[in-house]
Structure 1
Amino acid sequence: MCQQYYIMEGEPFKTCNNGEWTGEMRCHLAAGCERPPVLANGDTTTSAKPRYEHNERVDYTCQQYYIMEGEPYQTCNNGEWTGEIKCLKPCTVDRELLIAHNLAFRHKGADKLYSAHDDVIAFRCVTGTRHDGRVGMRQKCNDGVMDLPTCH
């Protein structure tokens, strides 16, 4: 086992073969990392430093209405940032879209609604129109995309 900031090179064990120990292992200083990668629609929770040590972690947060997918951090691993992280986009339904599809929100009186990833919005047809049936009246936001029903 290597000390902090060092990583093992070779196999982490030796084997006894005919009375002789075989296997190479060495500890060497792990490389640090430059500034952490930029997260689209998110940011680090602390000010970025110019250099990070091996195993040092940077925490992220997403902008309002964005939902994080993956762990909320990345880790410096021998000169490379590791960890999968993404900020999933919200959906926006505004007055123009409602008018274009002859829709109203089923439970809201607002002219515009932000819906986070995986949230569901229920619609209703405006008075005097009927649902065409091609897209359901309850729709789920999927990373900024939502199919809207249409009423005629």
Structure 2
Amino acid sequence: MTCTEKGWYPPPICVRVDVSCVNPPRVKNAVIQSERPRYQNGERVRYECIGTYDILGDVDVTCLNGTWTKAPQCKDSPGKCGPSPTIDNGGITSLLTPVYPLRSIVGYQCQAYYELQGNRNNVGENGEWAEPPKCLETCEISEEMMKKHNIQLKWTTSKKLYSKTQDHIEFICKRGYHPVTPYRTFRTACQEGKVVYPRCGQNTG
């Protein structure tokens, strides 16, 4: 500029500088919520740690005059557990979360006609879950099957019986029939929804 009789010439011009921000800082083991390609001055970006990692520092960074404030860190938190194991033919009765604190307990239950085998409650220790229980199918002994094999239940007259896995079931021949299969087969057990039935044949003579 030059000092003239009328003042400084040419007069200064203020040009607006772009103070927006792009490319928020990348944080290991973290994701950015609702990420966009550009942010205006004063806007914030929020971070969320994944898995069992905990955030260290502010969860937000701010765009200030074209630069970002200091980003947080995601540190591994020993002892925490990820999602609890699922089981077939059953479900979890506790609140489901992606991360559980040390020594958290989750409860399990089975669907109808399934029997829970193992500990109903599972405990998370040192980042790992114990072995979850299993849901084993129960056995249904129906009148139709007993009629087909000429047998009946030894200790009950019920037309239907539900038996748990490994429970013993005893049969006898109906009146007028004799064993066809060995005597040991008349005392059998439910094996995860399946039963091997003994057979009886009609007496002759």
**3-state SS of the aligned residue for 1:130?**
strand
Match for 2:195 among 137, 146, 149? 146
Partner of 1:70: 118
Task: Measure the CA separation in 2 of the matches of 1:78 and 1:32.
Answer: 7
Task: Identify unmatched segments of 5+ residues in structure 2.
Answer: 1-51, 54-74
Task: Measure the CA separation in 1 of the matches of 2:87 and 2:137.
Answer: 13
Equivalent pair of 2:81/2:129 in contact (CA under 8 Å): no
The C-alpha deviation readout for 1:80-122, integer Å capped at 9, x for no partner, is: 5442421222111112211111111112212111001121111
Confirm or deny that 1:99 pairs with 2:99: no
Confirm or deny that 1:43 pairs with 2:77: no
Task: Measure the CA separation in 1 of the matches of 2:157 and 2:128.
Answer: 49
TM-score normalized by the length of structure 2: 0.52
Equivalent pair of 1:118/1:141 in contact (CA under 8 Å): yes
The C-alpha deviation readout for 1:29-80, integer Å capped at 9, x for no partner, is: 135423x33322322233x323232432211123455333332233445665
Partner of 1:87: 135
Higher relative contact order (CA 8 A, sep 6+): 1
Task: Measure the CA separation in 1 of the matches of 2:141 and 2:151.
Answer: 10
Equivalent pair of 2:165/2:191 in contact (CA under 8 Å): yes
| Paired residue type of 1:150 | R
Task: Identify unmatched segments of 5+ residues in structure 1.
Answer: 7-26
TM-score normalized by the length of structure 1: 0.67
Match for 2:181 among 116, 133, 136? 133
Partner of 2:33: none
Q: Which structure has the bigger radius of gyration?
A: 2
Correspondence 1:9-24 to 2 at 5 A: none
Partner of 2:106: 58
